[in-house]
Amino acid sequence: MHEYMTAESVNRNLSGFRAALNYALKKGWLTKAPWKNVKLLEEAEPEEKTRSKAYFPKADREAFLCAAGDKLEALCRCMYLLGCRPSEARRLTVGDVHTDDRLETKYVRLKTFKGNRSSGTSRKFPLTNGRLEFFKALIKDRAADESLFLTETGLPYSMANLAKSHNKIRDALELDGFETYCWRHAWITDMIQADVQLLTVAKLAGTSLQHIQDNYTVGDKTLADQLPEV
């Protein structure tokens, strides 16, 4: 199994393949069905099928940014500032960043993905509160169709090489459990801790209000309220 694939993903990807083999068996094109003796992988319980909820304080995140090289630091700082999904950050292009002084609102256009394809939905994240200069520096003198974040070898980040690069820094700093998705979780938690309205958090994060309520609140008390001051 691929190091970064869940049991759920493997089972889902194999379902079509197994169905095709069973069809071929029924048609007589195959005489044996050895795949029927191969059990599907054990999946997590429903309550465990959520993204990592490990929270890392700002001091840990800033230490990570300082330890990462320039290329990885830029991508992680994007997640640090925007709370976007790792897939959204690594697939950004220079043209997704809008800083034209003639525009009333300067923003980064974030696109969500299902598998390897864009879901067709996007959102504008405003470049305010110190974000503008960071993104201006990233796009300076670059072509609009170029990937915004590139590896040390000049290639766009893939899911695998991002995780590998990220986890190398994580392990060096002994930040156990600090996965790429933790940047998004920490950002959402910080926003709630800062008393930002949940609907605003949901819109900026590109998710539903229901998801925020289900995953980041416990009754009338937010998870952020249970965390130490940062």
182 with 113, same domain? yes
201 with 180, same domain? yes
Q: Using CA atoms, how far apart are residues 128 and 73, in angstroms rounded to an integer? A: 20
Least confident of 52-56, 89-93, 214-218, 223-227: 223-227
What tens digit of pLDDT does each residue of 10-41 get?
Answer: 766 677 788 888 888 888 888 888 877 777 76
Q: What residues form DSSP beta bridges with 108?
A: 97, 125
Q: Is the pLDDT score of 42 beyond 70?
A: no
Top-confidence residue, 68 or 6: 68
In this prediction, residue 39 carries a pLDDT of: 73
177 with 72, same domain? yes
221 with 123, same domain? yes
In this prediction, residue 43 carries a pLDDT of: 52
Query: In this structure, are residues 80 and 191 in contact, taking their beta carbons and an 8 Å threshold?
Result: no
Residue 53 lies in a domain: no
Query: In this structure, are residues 198 and 213 in contact, taking their beta carbons and an 8 Å threshold?
Result: yes
Residue 1 lies in a domain: no
Which residue carries 């800062």 as its tokens?
A: 194
Which residue carries 């304080």 as its tokens?
A: 57
Q: Is the pLDDT score of 61 beyond 50?
A: yes
Q: How would residue 229 be classed by pLDDT, with cut points 50, 70 and 90?
A: very low
132 with 23, same domain? no
18 with 62, same domain? no
Q: How far is CA 211 from CA 7, 23, 215, in A?
A: 23, 39, 6
Q: How far is CA 48 from CA 22, 43, 215, 226, in A?
A: 31, 9, 12, 21
Query: In this structure, are residues 114 and 123 in contact, taking their beta carbons and an 8 Å threshold?
Result: no
226 closest CA partner among 55, 47, 58, 60:
55
Q: Is the pLDDT score of 213 beyond 50?
A: yes
pTM: 0.72
In this prediction, residue 31 carries a pLDDT of: 86
36 with 64, same domain? no
34 with 119, same domain? no
183 closest CA partner among 57, 91, 96:
57
CATH of the domain at 163: 1.10.443.10
User: How is residue 150 annotated by DSSP?
Assistant: B
Q: How would residue 221 be classed by pLDDT, with cut points 50, 70 and 90?
A: very low
What tens digit of pLDDT does each residue of 137-187 get?
Answer: 999 999 999 999 999 999 999 999 999 999 999 999 999 999 999 999 999
25 with 96, same domain? no
Altogether, the residues listed in the chain come to a count of 230
75 with 128, same domain? yes
162 with 214, same domain? yes
Residue 7 burial (C-beta neighbours within 10 Å; 0-12, 13-18, 19+) = middle
What tens digit of pLDDT does each residue of 103-121 get?
Answer: 567 899 998 866 555 656 7
In this prediction, residue 18 carries a pLDDT of: 81
Owning domain of residue 33 = 7-48
Residue 133 burial (C-beta neighbours within 10 Å; 0-12, 13-18, 19+) = exposed
Q: In the chain, how many domains are there?
A: 2
Residue 138 lies in a domain: yes
Query: In this structure, are residues 65 and 76 in contact, taking their beta carbons and an 8 Å threshold?
Result: yes
Give the whole-number percent of the chain exceeding pLDDT 90: 55
Residue 31 lies in a domain: yes
In this prediction, residue 166 carries a pLDDT of: 97
Least confident of 58-67, 131-140, 215-224: 215-224
136 with 44, same domain? no
Quick one: average pLDDT of 67-93? 96
Residue 2 lies in a domain: no
